Chain A
C-alpha cells in the first residue's frame, strides 16, 4: 500500500498538517503536498476510471503529463472539473471528487465495457454507431451520455476573477529547472530584460531530485545560490506558478499564471494570462519520461519511475512497500536507489537491456538490489491495485519465468524532450537514434518578423540528459538568445555539472518484444482514452498510415494530457506495424496550450459589465429610467419602444406613432453618424462619395444623399448639411458612422492624397433629438431663445445655429417621418437637460418619446428606404427607384462604373414597390413572392420578396415594401407571398408612399 514515510520530502512542511476531502472522506496532508501526493499518502491508490472501459486508474505520474488522476475540484462557484491532482497544490479544506464513474468509484457499471473490450476496438464508435440510423438517438446516445465524459459541467457562474497582462521582454525563458535558471543567468548577465517562468511552485526542476554536483557543490545548493543571484538582478523577472502555454508568430508568448489556486482564500485574480512579446524565447522545458508497454501497465500501482522517485524525495510518500523497477535505461536505477535508501523494498530491477546498465546499476547492486538484465514484465497481476508481476525474457514472447509479489511497479521507457513550445510556431524536429526521441532541429527554428530564428532550446528539452551537458547547453542558449536580442553576453564557461555516466538506452516499444495478441490487448499506450498497442496495430492493418489519421481513428493522444506520455510509444508502434522508420511516420502536430488553461483566463476582464462595450447616448439614463425596451444597433442600445405599465410592445408602438402623427413625439437620434468634411476640395470629394451632387448644395441647406461601394451597391445614406463654403456635415446611419468615416479616410489617404480635405468624426459631440409632429414647432418655440424656427425662418431642408432656451443648438429641418420635424443637435453634455426641457415644454401637447420601431413604421408609411432593410449589399439605388438621387451630370462617383455593367442595367432586376395585403394582415418578414413553376432544385420559383413589413397604426392595416420583378410596371396587380405554414397571403402592388403622398405635412 502507498503511505507517508516518517522522514523525507523536500517540498513538505511537516510542521503544518492540513485536512482535505476526497469523495467525502476526510484526509490529512502536509503543506507542500500536491493533491496526488496527499492521496497516495492516504493509500488512495485508485483515483478514477478510464474513459472507454472504465478501468480502475491510479496515479501514474507526478507532473503535468498525468493522464489518470483527474478530479472535480470544489463545488459551486469555485467548481472546476478535470483538475490534474499531480499539479494541484494541497490547501487546507480542499474538497474534490473523483470523476468518470457511475454510480461510484469502487463499483462502476461502465466497467462492464472492459469485458466487452474485444468488441470496443479502434474505430469502435465509427463502426458501431453507423447503423441502424434510428439507434443513435434512441439506443446509443442515451447510454453513451450516461457513461461518457470526464469531469462534470459546472452549473454555477464562475466565482473567481481573471485578467490579462501585456508585457514586453528581450528574452523569455520558459522552464525554471536547472537549464532555465542557467539560461536566465547567462542572458541576464548581458543586461537584457529577462523573464523566467516556471509552471510549478518550485525552482530547480528534476535536478533537485536527481542530484549531482555543480562546481563541486550539491546541485540543490547551486540552485539556491543561482536563484539568489537572479533575484538580485533588476533586469530579470522570476515568476513561478506560470506556464508557457504557447509560442506564436512574431515572438508572442502566452504565460498562464496561477495566482490563488494554491491559496483560494487569498484575494485577487485566480489566473492571469500574460500576453508577452519577446524578442527571443528560450524553451527550457525539460523532458518527460515514457511508460513501457506491457500487459497490465494500467493497473493502479504502476507508475513512472521518475514519479515513484518524486513521491519519495519531494513528498516523503511511498507508492508501495515493495516496488519492482522495470526499465530500458539507467535513469530508473535512481528510483531503485532512492526507494532503497528510504528503507523500502525493491525486490528486483528488470532491465530490458541484455547488457544492463552503467554506474547507477553498479550503485544499485552495491545496495544489495537484485538486477536482472534482459528481463521484462510479462504481465502485471492485480485488479484495483498491483499484487505482483510475472517476469519473462524481453527477447521472448512472454513465457513466465518467475512471479514476484509487489504492490508497486516503477517503469521507465526513456525520456522525450518537451518540444511543444519549440514546435508551436513551426520549429522542426529530428529523430535521435541514440536516445530514441524526437528533439528540436536547431538548424530549423521558428522565424520571426525579421526572418531570423526567435526560439532557442536549452537543457534536456534539446536532447542532452546529463547534468554537465544540460548546463553547457543552457548557458549557450541563454547567451545566444541575448545576442540575438541585441545584447552582449558576458564571457565565461558554464558551471561544471557532474552526474554518474550512463550506459546507452535501448528502445523498447513492446514488452516482451514478441508479446502476443492477448498481452498486447492489455498493454496501454493512452491511459485515459484506453488506447492499447493492439488498437494502433489494428488501425495500421485497416489502412491508417498517416499518424494524424491514426490519432483520430484510435483517439491516441486525444485525451486531456494530449499524448504527453503516449505519443512516442504510439508512433513507434505504428511505425513498427507499417514497417517504416519512426521519423518517416512523424509526429502529430503540437498545438498550444501546453496544458489546458482556464476559460476564465482566456476571457480575462471580458465578463459581466465589461463583457462587451455598450454604447450609451447622453439620454440613455432617461431611457433606462422609463424602462424602455432596448434593441441592439451595433454596440448601441436604442429604445425600441417605451411600454407603459403592462402595455404590449405592439400597443406601445401604436400609441407612440399616433401621438407623434397627431401631436408631437421625441426621438433620441444621437446615434446617427456625423462627419465633418472640410477643405478646398471637400465638394469635389463628396461628389465622389455620394451618387448625387453635393458640391452645389447651398450653405445653410441640407440634402439627402446615397453612398455606394465600388461594386455599385448601396452602402449608406443620410442628410448632408453645408456648413460653410469649405465645410460639410455628413450624417450617416447609426451603424455606419465609423465605417463611413474609415471609407472616406481610405479614399483620401490612399487614392486622392493630393486632394485638400480633412475629415473628423463628431458623432458623439452632439446629442441629437428629433422633435416630430404637427405641434413640434410650438414645443420648440416654447423653449425661447434666439432661433427663428418658423416656416419662413427655417425652411424645410435647411439648418440653422442658435439658442433654444439657453441651449447651444443646431436645428436641421429634416423629416424621416413625413411630419413637421426638427432634428436638433446640442453638445452631448447638455443632451439630457435639453431632452428634459423638451419633455417639459411638450407636456401640454402630450409629448412622449418614440422608439426605433415607431421610427421604422413611420418611415415605411412614407415609403422611405432603410439601409439594411431595403438593402442587403446586393441592391443598387436604381432597384429602389432612387434614380433621382443619382447625378447624371457627374462624370464619376464611387459605384458609377459598376452600375454600368449589363446585369446592373438589366430591366429584369427586382424593383421596389409598395404592398397592401387584401385582407389587411401583415405579410410575414422574409416572405417571397411566388411565381409559377419550380426551379432546377424542385423549389418554387419566386419573383420578388418583402423588405419591410409592418402594421401601420396610421392606416390601421398591414403595409409593406418589397422588391418585385418589373415591380413599378405592375401597379394594381395582386401577387402572392408564401408563409411558413404553407399558405399564402395576397397583396396588391401599390406606390410605396402610403402616407401624405404630396409631402404637405412635413412642409408646413
Chain B
C-alpha cells in the first residue's frame, strides 16, 4: 500500500510537472517520469509484460521522438507563442469537465479486495496474455493491427521523397 501511495504521489507530481513546466524539454522529461510511475503501477497489478512494453514503447520510443522534435524546433520560453486568455479558459473548462465525468463514473465503484483463495498469480504474464489476445480477442486484435498498418502506410506516403526533391 505504501508503495502504491508513493507511486501515485510521484505520478501526480510529475504529471503536474508536465503541465506547469515552462521549458518543453522539462515537460517531456516529466512525462517520461510519469510513464515510469505508470509502469510501476502495472507491476503492482502483476502485469509485468504490460509494464515492460509500456517502458519500451512509450518511454523508450515515442518519447524519444517527442524529445527529438522538441530539440530540433528548439522551443523555449522566448519563442513560446502567447496563448489568448480565451484558449486558456476553454482548456480549463474542457479538462475540468473530463475530470468531472471520470469522478462521476467512478464515484460508486466499490473496490473489492483480492480473494487469496481464488487469486491467479499467473494473470498478466506473457503467455496468458497471448492466449487471451489470440483466442478471445483475435478479431479486435487484427482490426487494431490493420489500423496501425493504415497509419504506417500513410506516414510512409507523407515522408516519401518527391521526384526532384533532395532530402540530404
Indicate, yes or no, whether A interacts with B.
no
> A-contacting residues of B (Cβ < 8 Å)?
none
